[in-house]
Amino acid sequence: MEFRINKTLTIALTLSVGLLAGSFAGADDDYREVREGSRHSRSQAAAKTPESALYKQECSSCHHLYQSWLLPARSWQAIIDDSDKHFGDDLALDDATRKELLNYLKANSSEKTSTKWAQKITSSSEGMTPKRIMDVPWIKKEHREVGANVFKRAGIGSASNCVACHTKAVEGNYDEDFIKIPRK
């Protein structure tokens, strides 16, 4: 008897949670969810990269922390070498900090990461040193349907702002199931 009551309660609870979630999704008017045109796997697990407190401290105050597997080691080398003119900013890093950051970034670059996404980044950027993730040919191709004007929307700003559209980018999850493009 008790079991049955609990079961009914559980079902009722599950239903109301579902309805609640539904109403939140409905209220989400400023976003268009990208679901149509789904081509492939939802099985791509987010890459788990070891964290670095130093990397977080030095490289996430102006933008979100880009996962180290998003670029090949050559790119990280160039970015750290040019850190005194980093997209218009002087990051003012001392030698020891530069060295430690580079050790971390190279040890966990796209070449050192075995997930499908990282492998595509490595192979498609062979012979190049992209300083922007969107300059990686495979990444560029994946975004071919996103217009340049879309990246400039106030809610996005630029293609560098991955988190504006990839709601789980901070976790390294770029799966198409978690994309919401701000409408303005």
Which stretches of the chain bind ligand HEC, using CB under 6 A? 34, 37, 39, 44, 58-59, 61-63, 66, 70, 79, 83, 86-87, 89, 91, 101, 117, 132-134, 139, 142-143, 146, 150-151, 156, 158-162, 164-166, 174-176, 179, 181
What's the min distance (Å) between Cβ of 149 and ligand HEC?
10
What's the min distance (Å) between Cβ of 127 and ligand HEC?
19
Residue pair 87/158 in contact (Cβ under 8 Å)? The answer is no
Residue pair 87/135 in contact (Cβ under 8 Å)? The answer is no
What's the min distance (Å) between Cβ of 164 and ligand HEC?
5
Q: Report the 10 Å Cβ neighbour count for 26.
A: 8
What's the min distance (Å) between Cβ of 139 and ligand HEC?
6
Nearer to ligand HEC among residue 73 and residue 101 (C-beta): 101
Q: Report the 10 Å Cβ neighbour count for 76.
A: 23
- Residue 51's alpha-carbon distances to 27, 166, 172, in angstroms, are 35, 20, 12
